[in-house]
Amino acid sequence: MSDAIGGLYLYEAENAPGSFGIRVLASVPCLEAGYRMMDIFGLRVSAA
């Protein structure tokens, strides 16, 4: 069993004072399920 943290995190920028700069909207522990969820919602991965 691996100790690596996997999954998919959907987040948005957060500009509130005292914040860490991002706000996690959802986390999906299974990467494949996360990509299926993105496809259902019509979301696309943005280029870094």
Q: Is the pLDDT of residue 1 over 60?
A: no
pLDDT tens digits along 11-43 = 888 888 887 788 888 888 888 888 888 888 887
Q: Give, in order, the Cα–Cα distances in Å from 29 to each of 17, 18, 39.
A: 29, 27, 16
Model pLDDT, residue 17: 86
With vertex at residue 9, the alpha carbon angle to CA 41 and CA 15, rounded to the nearest 5 degrees, is 100
Mean pLDDT within 5-15: 79
Structure confidence at residue 47 (pLDDT): 64
Say yes or no to pLDDT of 2 above 60: no
Task: Please answer whether residues 28 and 7 qualify as being in contact, where contact means their C-beta atoms are separated by less than 8 angstroms.
Answer: yes
